[in-house]
Amino acid sequence: HVQLVESGGGSVQAGGSLRLSCAISRDRYSSNCVTWFRQAPGKTREGVAAIYNRAGSTYYADSVKGRFTITQDNAKNTVYLQMNSLKPEDTAMYHCAAAPDGVSCSSAFPRSTRFPYWGQGTQVTVSS
């Protein structure tokens, strides 16, 4: 079983930066794809960035490439999402989610149905 807790959301002006954190509780030997999803009111959920803990391989949505960076600290079992050059359209509830043990990001990202474990979310609001 995997548990995730997000933190780091807030309000920022356009062009600013935020760093989200996702603290993960899981078996020390598990291999998981961890993904940041976001959903704004009235919009479909979007997979933003993913990282596979064993290989460190990363994946990004086109909408955030060059602005967002996903990283991990395996010692702290935490995944981060550094968000730079934020835009008003980045405003959304951000959730981190984990795929089952052994499922790679190349097969799971960005389909939310492949991720059974979810955190409670953290709100990001970008004003113009």
Sorted by sequence, the CB contacts under 8 Å of residue 12 that are 6+ apart come out as 18, 86, 124, 125, 126, 127
Q: Are strands 46-52 and 58-60 parallel, antiparallel or unpaired?
A: antiparallel
**pLDDT-derived band of residue 54, with 50, 70 and 90 as boundaries?**
confident
pLDDT tens-place string over residues 56-79: 899 999 999 999 999 999 899 999
